[in-house]
Chain A
Amino acid sequence: MITKKNYFPFGYILPAFLIVFAFRLIPIILSFIISFFKWTIHGPEEFIGLRNYIKLFQDPVFWQSLLNTFYLVVFVVPITLILSLFFANLLNRTKKLSGLFRTTYFVPTVTSLVAISIVWKLIFSPHGGLMNHVLGFFSIHGLNWLSEPQGIFTLLFGAMGINIPNAFGGPSLALFAIIIVSIWRSLGYNTIIYLAGLQNIPEVYYEAAEIDGASKWKQFFNITVPLISPTTFYVLLMTTITTFQVFSQVYLMTGPPIGGPLGTTKVIVYYIFDIGFGESQNLSYASAIALVLFFIILGLTMLQKRLEKKVQY
C-alpha cells in the first residue's frame, strides 16, 4: 500500500491552488469589500457602507438593464429548450445523414461570438441585410431590427391596428434580434445534449407502450419527458446562466451607442462593463451590480436544484 512517506500531496495541488486562490477566491472576496467602499483604481478611498446598494435601487438604468436581461432569459431559455428537444427527437428517429446534421448544428457552438455577432449585425442590417431580403418574400418590409426601439408586441399589434400600452410592449425589436442570435447560438449544443439523453432511454419502455397501444404523443409526454428530465434541468440551468451573462452580442451588434436604441438592449453584464471600464470607471458601483447578478444567478441555481430534487423519477 501507499505509505504516507513516499508522497507529498500538497505539492500536486499547489500550482492549481495558487492560481485559484489568487485569481478566483481573492477577487470574489475583494468584490464584496470593493462594493462597500469608494474605490478607485489606486485603492480604497472611504467606507460608504450600503450606499452603492441604495443607489442601485434608485438607478433607472440598472432596472432597465435588469428588465432587458430578464426579457432575454424569458425568451431564450424556453424557446431553446423546446426547439432543442424537438430537433433532438427528430435526430433520434433518423439514421441517414444524422452525422452531418450533428456537425452542422454544432458549428455555431465552436465559433467565436465576436465573429458571429459581426455577421448577424450585417444580416439584420436594413440596407442589404439578408434578413429583410428573406422577409421580403413574405411581404414583410422595412423592419429596422437593431435600430428599432419599439417593443415587438407593440409592432405586432400595431400592424393589426391595435394600440397596446407601452408596459406590455415586450422587448424591443433590437433586443429581439439579439434573442434570435442567442437562440441560434445555443440551439445546436443543447440539441446534441438532448440527443445523448434520449439515446440513454431504454428502447423497452417504448416497445411496452407500443404494445399497450399508446400513441406517439402519449409516449412522448409519458415516457420521454419524465425520463429526460435530468437533461432538461441541466439544459435549463446552463442556458439560464449563459443568457444572464450575454455580453458580446450586445457589445458588437448594437449601437452606437452600445446598448441602444434608447437603452433597450443594454443588458446587465454590459452595464457592469460600462460602469466599471467606461467613462466613469466606478469600480465600486460596478462591483455592487456584479454581486447582485451573482446572487440572482445563485438564487436561480438553488431554486432549480430544489425543483430537480422534487421532480425525481
Chain B
Amino acid sequence: MLKRYFGKGFSYFMLIFCGLIMVVPFIWMVSTSMKSQTAINKGSVGFIPIEFVNYYAHDGKKELCEIVDQEGYLTVINIYDKDRKTFKESYVKVPSENIKSSKHLKFHWENFKEAFTKVPFGRYFLNTLFVSFSVLIGVLITSCLAAYAFARMRFKGRDFIFYLFISMMMVPQPIYLIPSYFLLTKLGWINTYQALIIPWIANIFSIFLLRQQFKTIPQDLFDAAVIDGCSQFAILWRIVLPISKPILATTAIFSLIGSWNSFMWPLVMTSSDNLRVLQVGLSYFAQEASSSTALLMSASTFSIAPLLIMFLFAQKQIISSFISSGLKG
C-alpha cells in the first residue's frame, strides 16, 4: 500500500516537473517581456518583474531618484520630476544615509507597444493572416476534390498518381528549396504573395487524410444518392463533406499551424520588407534588436499568442488531430 502511494507521488512529481520544464520558457518569456531593459541589464533573472527603486528621503518626503555616483558619504543623484521620466534636479550631492531603496512591482506594458511599432509587426501579422487563410482555402478545395476522386472514383492511373503523391510526401522541404527558388525566379514570383501561397495550396498529407476518411463512408449512401439523381459534385458537397467535418477541421488546423509557423520558405522566397510574414519579421527583428531583450521577448510573446490562444480553446480537437494523423501516417 505504502509502495503504491509512493509510486503515485513519484508519478505526479515527475509529471509536474516535466510540465514545468515545458511551460517555464514561455512564462519566463512573458515575464521578461514586461521588465525594463535596465533591470534586465542589471541582472534581473527572476520570474516576477520586480525593480529596485531608489528614493531620496528628506524632510519627511520621498522623492524618486537615480544614483549617478558614490563619493564617500555622499551620493550623487538625479531627482525625478513628478512624471517619473524627466529630472527635476541633476547631480545633487546628498548624504548616502538618506538614500533608501525599495522593491517595487512594475509591469512595463509599453514594451509591447514599442516592439509592435518599432518594426511594422502589424503589417507582418496581416501578411501572415492573408497567406495562411489563402493557403487554407486552397488546401481545402484541392484536397477535397482530389481525395474524393482517389477514394470514390475508378479511373486509369488512379493508383499510380496516388502513390506518386505519397512518395512526394516523403521528400523533405530542404530538398526542393533550391530548385524551387530557381523556378520561382524564372516565373518572376520572388517577392510576391504567389510565391508564399500557390506552391502550398495542394497538401498531399491532407489529401491522404481525407481519402482515408472518404473511404470509410458506406457505399449505400452513394448508391442512394445516385438513384436520386445526384451528380458527383452534389454528392461530395451535400453528403460527403457534411459528414466529414471533424477530419476537415483537422486538415484546417494542420494547414493553419503549418502556414503560421512556416519560416524557411518565406525567408528564402521574399526579401522585401512589405512581404515579410510574422516569422521572418521576427527573425529579422531578433538580429537587429538583439540587445533589446525585453522588446524581443514582447515580440516573441505576441507572435506566439494567436496560435497559442487557438490551441488553448481547441486543445482537445487539436491534440486528437495530431494523434489520429500520427497513427494513420
Task: Using CB atoms and an 8 Å cutoff, list the residues of chain A in contact with chain B.
Answer: 1-2, 6-7, 9-13, 15-20, 22-28, 30-31, 34, 39, 41, 43, 86-87, 90-91, 93-94, 97, 100-116, 118-123, 127-130, 133, 184, 187-189, 192-193, 196-197, 234, 238, 241, 244-245, 247-248, 251-252, 269, 272-273, 276-277, 283, 286-287, 290-291, 293-294, 297-298, 301
**Interface locus among B49-57, B58-66, B83-91, B139-147:** B139-147
CA distance A122 to B28 in the complex (A): 10
Q: Give the dominant DSSP class at A's interface.
A: helix
Shortest distance between the CB of A90 and any CB in chain B (Å): 5
Contact between A122 and B311, CB atoms less than 8 A apart: no
Q: Which of B285-306 contact A (CB under 8 A)?
A: 286, 293, 296-297, 300, 303-304
B138-174 residues with Cβ-Cβ distance < 8 A to A are: 141-143, 145-146, 148-150, 153-155, 158, 161, 164-165, 168, 170-174
In the assembled complex, the Cα of A18 lies from the Cα of B138 at a distance in Å of: 13
Given contacts A41-B182, A94-B12, contact A104 B168 (CB under 8 A): no
Contact present for B283 and A19 (CB under 8 Å): no
Residues of B within 8 A of A122 (CB): 32, 293, 296-297
The answer to whether B22 touches A104, judged by C-beta atoms less than 8 angstroms apart, is yes
Task: Chain B residues near A103: list those with CB within 8 A.
Answer: 312, 315, 319
Tell whether B264 is near chain A: CB-to-CB under 8 Å: yes
Q: Chain A nearest CB: distance from B42 CB in Å?
A: 9
B279 — nearest CB in chain A belongs to which residue?
A114
A215 vs chain B, min Cβ distance (A): 12
Which residues on B sit within 8 Å (CB–CB) of A184? 21-22, 25
A/B interface sample: 25 pairs, CB < 8 A? A9-B149, A9-B155, A12-B153, A16-B146, A18-B202, A20-B165, A23-B202, A24-B168, A31-B176, A34-B178, A94-B12, A102-B315, A104-B22, A110-B307, A111-B26, A112-B263, A114-B261, A118-B296, A184-B25, A187-B18, A193-B327, A197-B327, A245-B173, A247-B263, A290-B177
Which residue of A41, A100, A188, A294 is within 8 Å of B172 (Cβ)? A294
Query: Given B26, B145, B260, which contacts A13 in the complex, CB threshold below 8 Å?
Result: B145
With a 10 A CB-CB cut-off, give which of A11, A119, A120, A241 has the most chain B CB atoms: A119
Of the candidates B161, B177, B264, B278, the one whose C-beta lies within 8 Å of that of A248 is: B264
Asked if residues B161 and A112 are in contact (CB atoms below 8 Å), the reply is no
5 closest A-B pairs by CB: A19-B202, A12-B149, A27-B176, A16-B146, A23-B199
A241 contacts across to B, CB distance below 8 A: 172
Complex contact B178–A31 (CB within 8 A): yes
CB distance from A160 to the nearest CB of B (A): 27
B:173-223 near A, CB below 8 Å: 173-183, 185-186, 198-199, 201-202, 204, 207, 222-223
Other than A7-B153, A13-B145, A112-B307, give 14 A-B pairs with Cβ distance below 8 A: A9-B158, A16-B202, A17-B202, A31-B176, A104-B19, A106-B319, A106-B322, A108-B22, A114-B263, A119-B25, A128-B45, A184-B21, A187-B18, A196-B327
| Chain B residues whose CB sits within 8 angstroms of the CB of A100 once the complex forms | 19
- Using A109-B322, A128-B41 as known contacts, say yes or no to A2 and B222 having CB atoms under 8 A apart: yes
B residues in contact with A115, CB < 8 Å: 29, 282, 300, 303-304
1/0 contact trace for B241-281 toward A, CB 8 Å? 00000000000000001001101100010000000001100
Cβ–Cβ < 8 Å partners of B199 in chain A: 19, 22-23
| Known pairs A13-B161, A24-B168, A105-B18; A6 contacts B231 (CB<8 A) | yes
B23:A107 contact, CB within 8 angstroms: yes
Q: Indicate the size class of the contact surface on chain B.
A: 35 or more
Give A271 to B144 CA distance when docked, in angstroms.
Answer: 38
State how many angstroms separate the Cβ of A239 from the closest Cβ of chain B.
Answer: 12
Complex contacts, B141 vs chain A, CB 8 Å: 15
Q: Which residue of B23, B43, B174, B207 is within 8 Å of A272 (Cβ)?
A: B174
- Which residues of the other chain, B, contact A272 by a CB distance below 8 angstroms? 174, 177-178
A125–B172 alpha-carbon span in the complex (Å)? 32
Q: Are A106 and B315 in contact (CB under 8 A)?
A: yes
- Whether B226 contacts A2 by the Cβ 8 Å rule is yes
What B residues does A1 contact at CB under 8 A?
A: 223, 226
Chain A residues with CB under 8 A of B222? 2
Tell me which of B18, B286, B323 contacts A192 (CB under 8 A). Answer: B323
A10 to chain B minimum Cβ distance, whole angstroms, is 7
B19, B172, B303: the one within 8 Å of A101 (CB):
B19
Q: Are A93 and B11 in contact (CB under 8 A)?
A: yes
**A133, closest chain B residue (CB):** B45
